[in-house]
Homo-oligomer: A and B are copies of this chain.
Amino acid sequence: MSDTLIVSAIQHPVQHSLEATRDYLSNAVADSAKAGARLMVLQELHNGPYFCQTEDVSCFDLAEPIPGPSTDFLGTLAREHQCVIVGSLFERRAAGLYHNTAVVLDTDGSLAGQYRKMHIPDDPGFYEKFYFTPGDAQGSPHSGFQPVMTAIGKLGVLVCWDQWYPEAARLMALAGAEILIYPTAIGWDPEDDDAEKQRQRDAWITIQRSHAIANNLPVVVCNRCGFEASPDARAGGISFWGNSFIAGQQGEFLAVAEDQPTNLIATVDMAKTEHTRRIWPYLRDRRVDAYQNLTRRYLDH
């Protein structure tokens, strides 16, 4: 891996059709490549609306196989621009078995690997447990927290709700990830007041910066932006807050987006991991002899 990696997080509002989305992504990837980016991170479920606002069996029609049409499209883009693209798809694995899956297209256009979201949220407006089976713990080629090897390095790709779990970031780091990547779709309930909205966004920024810090790794976060109404007229919809960001190995901001469509670009010094891990050597001192209870649900009394 070269010492310097230019990264682009492509943040945008939902487009009116899959064709329009592909046009948007083609342009955004081309523009980012012109700026020197070799790693492009797309937002969660970028192909269309965030359909999990309601539970609707017809939405399973949106799912697709992997490899499939979207990995073909993204692979062609990646090869054309000699970059790595991290996409986020609604995967149909079998009848009645769907995942929220990140895909990694390598610089030669091949599918370098994929990651099936391991932690699945479910709360009003984010009914993901209805749609997505959590990724397998083991037993399949894509199980667990495995980084994906590419021409530009080993990518620790996680998805959205995973961002709240230090365990996920740590396991990627222990498996050799050189950068942590989060496609995400998070926004506000319009009924929350401004102070609560601010606390939520700050918490979301802080927890992801903390994964950079705890693991001495850069972090790339790509979030949706814009308002999406709910199909349920009684619900208020979601204001996706954007605020994609790229942080260095001490959690320092390298680039931060606001709430508008943005190709957020930053230059990451990949060699800083080696330096930071020498002087703040957390991996040296982990108490692996005392961590067994991390595999327990709760330590009941």
Residue in B closest to A290 when the chains form the complex, CB atoms: B137
Report yes or no: A291 in contact with B295, Cβ–Cβ below 8 A: yes
Residue in B closest to A189 when the chains form the complex, CB atoms: B279
Which of A176, A203, A214, A252: most chain B CB closer than 10 A? A203
Question: Is A233 close to B, CB under 8 A?
Answer: no
With A120-B285, A174-B299, A199-B250: A290-B164 Cβ-Cβ less than 8 Å = no
A-B residue pairs, 8 tightest by C-beta? A210-B210, A166-B166, A137-B290, A137-B289, A175-B299, A199-B250, A203-B213, A203-B250
Report yes or no: A286 in contact with B297, Cβ–Cβ below 8 A: yes
Quote the shortest CB–CB distance from A126 to chain B (angstroms): 11
Question: Is A220 close to B, CB under 8 A?
Answer: no
Residue in B closest to A279 when the chains form the complex, CB atoms: B123
Please give, as numbers and ranges, the residues of chain B lying within 8 Å of A161 by CB-CB distance: 285
How many of chain A's residues have a CB under 8 angstroms from any CB in B? 56
Q: Given the complex of chains A and B, what is the CA–CA distance between A65 and B241 in angstroms?
A: 54
Please give, as numbers and ranges, the residues of chain B lying within 8 Å of A295 by CB-CB distance: 288-289, 291-292, 294-295
Which of A279, A291, A296: most chain B CB closer than 10 A? A291
A residues in contact (CB < 8 Å) with B: 118-121, 123, 134, 137-138, 143-145, 161, 164-168, 170-171, 174-176, 199-200, 202-203, 206-207, 209-210, 213-214, 250-252, 279-283, 285-299, 301
Report yes or no: B199 in contact with A206, Cβ–Cβ below 8 A: no
- A-B contact list, 9 entries, CB within 8 Å: A118-B287, A119-B287, A165-B287, A171-B291, A174-B299, A206-B210, A207-B213, A207-B214, A288-B295
Residue in B closest to A278 when the chains form the complex, CB atoms: B123
Please give, as numbers and ranges, the residues of chain B lying within 8 Å of A203 by CB-CB distance: 213, 250-252
Report yes or no: B286 in contact with A167, Cβ–Cβ below 8 A: yes
Report yes or no: A174 in contact with B298, Cβ–Cβ below 8 A: yes
Q: Given the complex of chains A and B, what is the CA–CA distance between A206 and B249 in angstroms?
A: 13
Quote the shortest CB–CB distance from A118 to chain B (angstroms): 5
With A202-B252, A251-B203, A286-B297: A214-B291 Cβ-Cβ less than 8 Å = no
Please give, as numbers and ranges, the residues of chain B lying within 8 Å of A279 by CB-CB distance: 123
Neighbour of A167 across the interface among B199, B294, B298, B299, CB < 8 A:
B294
Please give, as numbers and ranges, the residues of chain B lying within 8 Å of A207 by CB-CB distance: 210, 213-214, 251
Neighbour of A285 across the interface among B121, B293, B294, B298, CB < 8 A:
B121
Neighbour of A293 across the interface among B171, B209, B282, B297, CB < 8 A:
B171
Please give, as numbers and ranges, the residues of chain B lying within 8 Å of A209 by CB-CB distance: 206, 210
Please give, as numbers and ranges, the residues of chain B lying within 8 Å of A296 by CB-CB distance: 174, 288
Please give, as numbers and ranges, the residues of chain B lying within 8 Å of A251 by CB-CB distance: 199, 202-203, 206-207
